[in-house]
Amino acid sequence: MSKYQMLKKVLFKFEPETAHHIAETGLKLLGNCKIGKKYMEKRNFISDSKLSQEIFGVTFPNPVGLAAGFDKNATMIKSMKSLGFGFTEIGTVTPKPQDGNPKPRMFRYPEVNCVQNAMGFNNEGIHTVLKNLKKLYPFEIPIGGNVGKNKITPEEFALEDYKVLIKKIKDYCDYLVINISSPNTPNLRDLQNEKFITELFTMAKEITNKPILLKIAPDMEAAQAIELCKTAVNSGAAGIIATNTTIDYSLVPNCQDFGGLSGTCLTEKSYLLFKEIAKELYGKTVLISVGGISNGQQAYDRIKAGASLVQIYTGLIFEGPSMVKKINEELLELLAKDGYNNISEAIGADLK
């Protein structure tokens, strides 16, 4: 049994949110401990030029990143390279601090390696997050900033929330992500419409040249998702992240009837929608795939389907940091098997 599997036995005795806070404390300590950080980097971080690529004018040392939702307040960035990640994404951050939804709001289903969360963008607000980012940006690996509107902000004023966030965070991250696809803020997914997306990205491009991506939900029809993504790209989006968590509760027996499901239950659903989007947009924008990825083959499948990068979160909870290392090692093996000298050659291979 690995050290993490032993640690997991202890962590899983706590409520999921409490366990997350314990993990956050540990990772904050690790990030400030030079000896421990260096040891963990040597243990988990795969340094190989075959995995490195330049995107948005920034070097991504490997294509596996941490998805948004784990490091909401940008407190754990220092330890992300120690966990093996090639990039990290903080947030979702809102203009004002907010507590999120009532507890309990996070549930784990270990028998199927899934998590259900109804957090509701709980974070300390852009002011605090900026203080944390300013202490270390630019960092050793790229940082993405995921932004969303406050729960109390009416839909008709949502654009102003995103405007405030983009203005404040643009100089302290390598790319930004517009989150209008979380199921945990009332009516947020209603903003997944062509009118709002056009207004949003038109406004954003007037503020900054920093790459801004749109993150979409997995629960819409493929045709609708494709049209929304095309609208975003035509309006100035630098890329698409697919997908967020799902509200298809049929995927996990006896789960809650609120919040979003992630993990193994999302693997196929997310992959299928990503493939449909990639058929239309591969080569026209940067595509990032997230949702139920837990091994190298799954990551490689998304890459060959058109993803330049992949992200994980839930798998980390069940497998620990060794999973990131294993994914990158498996990617190197798969690249060698197919005769590729760099991961960029494999991107979109199934579409060529």
Active-site residue (options: 79, 82, 181, 182): 182
Look at residue 214 and give its three-state secondary structure: strand
248 annotated as belonging to a binding site for a ligand: no
* 339 annotated binding-site participant: no
Contact criterion met (CB below 8 Å) for 50 and 332: yes
Residue 350 labelled as part of a binding site? no
Mapping DSSP to helix (H, G, I), strand (E, B) and coil, where does residue 112 land?
Answer: helix
Q: Is 179 annotated as a binding residue?
A: yes
Q: How far apart are CA 81 and CA 235, in angstroms?
A: 33
Query: Any binding-site annotation on 263?
Result: yes
Angle, CA of 278, 139 and 150, to the nearest 5°: 65
H or E element that contains 216? strand 212-216
Q: Contact, 106 vs 16, CB < 8 A?
A: yes
What letter represents residue 151's amino acid? K
70 is in an annotated binding site: yes
215 is in an annotated binding site: yes
Q: Determine if residue 314 is labeled as part of a ligand binding site.
A: yes
121 annotated as ligand-binding? yes
**CB within 8 Å of 246: residues ≥ 6 apart:** 183, 217, 218, 219, 260, 261, 262, 265, 266, 269, 270, 291
> Is position 202 annotated in a ligand binding site?
no
146 labelled ligand-binding: yes
Is residue 223 part of an annotated ligand binding site? no
Would you say 209 is a known binding-site residue?
Answer: no
Helix, strand, coil in percent for the chain, rounding step 5: 45, 15, 35
* Residue 181 a catalytic site member: no
In the chain, the N- to C-terminal Cα span, in Å, equals: 42
The catalytic site residues sit at 182
Q: Which residues carry a binding-site annotation for substrate?
A: 72, 117-121, 179, 184, 244-245
Q: Which residues carry a binding-site annotation?
A: 68-72, 92, 117-121, 146, 179, 184, 215, 243-245, 263, 292, 313-314
Q: Which residues carry a binding-site annotation for FMN?
A: 68-72, 92, 146, 179, 215, 243, 263, 292, 313-314
